[in-house]
Amino acid sequence: MDKRPDLIYSDYLSLSTVFKSKYMKIFMILDEQIKRNLKVEGIITRPVNSNGIWCCALLPAVLSIYALFYEVSLLYKIIACLSIGLLTYSILFMLFLSVSCVVLHDLGYGGCTASTMVSVLMVYYFLGQDLIFSLICSFPSLFLYNLLLRTCLVQHPKTFTVGEAMIVSQGIVLTIVTIGIKLFRDIGDQDEEMEFINTIVNTMLSTVGLIVTALYLLSDDQRNLQNLGKIFTVALAFAMMILHSIIGVGFLPKIIHYIFLNKNRAQIFAFWLSLVVIAILVLMSRTQLAIKANTVTRKSFHVLASLVFMSGIILDVNLIRLASGIGLALVILIEALRKSNIEPISSTLQAAFDVYSDEKDVGSFAMSPLYLFAGLAAPLALVPQRAAPLERLAGVLAIGVGDAAASWLGSNYGFYKWRVDNNRTLEGTAFNILSQIATVYALVLFEFLDARLWWFRATVSAIVSALVEAHTAQVDNLVLPLVALLALQATEPLCRLAPF
């Protein structure tokens, strides 16, 4: 006789508890020790039941696998080697932190030097670069990571878990090092179009960095619209000078021609603009009504953002690379203006934040929109040119489709929860998996996507990302795209061996 559903669910809970206690005990003990030491030191991480220490391996793993098994540029391989050094430091940092919080205050402890030597040896020995270049790349990256990680945890309470702080710090450091290598060393392994895109994106990010630094340095009596106008004027002059020196005298016509006149980009841009207008109108109407948005309403913005990225990845991947870089710079700028205390800009942005913020946005910054944008754009930066198009959709599928679908169905029709202390439901997870597979099927059916063994790869990726989404306490927008990429990487060897 078949078991009743509630008995099967009870058996699952028991099995899950046994699995966690048997195979995750070491990680749980380490996590508890870190949590206890941080509490004694008075350092408050984002209030969840786990520090997510496993997250430190996600970005280095993705970069290392692509560098080892795909045809990638020399710059990509250098960044992958540096990420191994960052991972080594992360592991040592967690081990030290599980013993004492002294590591948070000692900027020059031995673990940093040891991790730096790992990067130096990999760049020097495996990539054949000269020793001076290996040292110049490795030492600044490790010490900057050391500084950023400590800053995230100590100076920004309730904003990050330990794992989230590591991913964010790794991403910032590797981005800065990438820009630095491109500026000061001729790697010579990119085509002309990608050089053009990278120049614009790097200029935008550098300009926003200049604005954010200036806003940070303003005293309270200097925070007004007049000084803001001066800052923007200087930043605009800086951006134009950089673009003029790299692209040439006619940089503005070249940018306009590239975005609007090449191929069918005007139509794509018009579609994106319509989605942006819809999002702004919805945001303004809810802000004026001061109606707190629920989870499903917030996920509607995931869908709009995903439509932008999905259309760009399918129709013109280089254009979406350019747009995502500029968009990330704008998102950072908007958050900086919200925190700048310059009226009436800050209060207007704060009102919108109060309506759409969720329980994860309790720290110093509004990280959810930043994580959403970074999560959707991450595969564009991480996936090599020769990899399957399906892998560039990892972020869109994991958080734009699957996570949004799970949130909608789980909150409305979910009954069986994964755990007592978890609001994720089995029904939501099932719909997460099915929605991702259905989306890939629709893209293949209408010939927007051509991928070998797409059904197998999409199924594995959907299952893995959905299960992680159901169980992790870390921010979905940050970790799920990387998890989905790792799942897709794991299935790639089968595609190479398959005769069909």
3-state secondary structure 247-273: CCCCHHHHHHHHHHHCCCHHHHHHHHH
CA 399-401-406 angle, 5° bins: 85
Query: Under DSSP, is residue 417 helix (H, G, I), strand (E, B) or coil?
Result: strand
Which amino acid would we find at residue 185?
R
Give residue 470's identity as a one-letter amino acid code: A
* Dihedral, 268, 274, 280, 282 alpha carbons, nearest 10: -130
Long-range contacts of 66-70 (CB under 8 A, 24+ apart): 66/382, 66/383, 66/384, 66/387, 66/489, 69/492, 70/384, 70/386, 70/387
Closest CA to 315 of 375, 263, 378, 377: 263
The pLDDT of residue 9: 47
Rounded Cα gap, residues 465 and 443, in angstroms: 20
Whether 29 contacts 99, CB under 8 Å: no
CA atoms within 13 A on the CB side of 210: 17
Q: Decide if 182 contacts 79 (C-beta within 8 A).
A: no
pLDDT for position 109 = 58
299 within 8 A of 477, measured Cβ to Cβ:
no
Report pLDDT for 485: 95
The number of C-alpha atoms within 13 Å of 241 and in the hemisphere containing its C-beta is 8
Q: Copy the structure tokens of residue 218.
A: 């303003």
- Asked if residues 57 and 166 have their Cβ atoms less than 8 Å apart, the reply is no
Q: Rounded to the nearest 5°, which phi and psi values hold at 185?
A: -145, 130
Q: In Å, how far from its chain's centre is CA 471?
A: 19
pLDDT of residue 458: 93
Tokens describing residue 64: 């290392």
**Amino acid 500: pLDDT:** 52
Measured CA to CA, the distance from residue 187 to residue 74 in angstroms comes to 7
> How many whole angstroms from its chain centre is CA 74?
23
Q: What angle do CA 101, 107, 112 make, to 5 degrees?
A: 95
State both tokens at 100: 């004492």
pTM, rounded to two decimals:
0.90
Structure tokens at 169: 């710090």
Residue 153: both structure tokens together: 């945890």
What pLDDT is stored for residue 83 in this prediction?
95
**382, 395 contact by CB (below 8 A):** no
At residue 351, the pLDDT reads 82
Look at phi and psi of residue 291 and say left if phi exceeds 0, alpha if psi is from -120 to 50, else beta: beta
* 3-state class (DSSP) for residue 482: helix
Q: DSSP per residue over 187-208, as a string? A: ---S-HHHHHHHHHHHHHHHHH
Question: Do 399 and 480 form a contact (C-beta atoms < 8 A)?
Answer: yes
Cis-peptide, bond into residue 5, ω within 30° of zero: no
The CA distance from 158 to 361, in Å, is: 8
Structure tokens at 436: 């991702």
The CA-based angle 493-463-275, given to 5 degrees, is 100
Backbone angles phi, psi at 313, to 5 degrees: -65, -40
Convert the pLDDT of each residue in 334-348 to its tens digit.
Answer: 989 998 889 888 888
Cα distances (Å, whole numbers) of residue 477 to 18, 164, 166, 406, 483: 29, 11, 15, 14, 11
pLDDT at 161: 92
**Span 301-329, pLDDT tens digits:** 788 888 999 999 999 999 999 999 998 99
Tell me which residues of the chain have a pLDDT lower than 70: 1-24, 107-111, 188-190, 263, 289-296, 359, 414, 419-422, 495-500
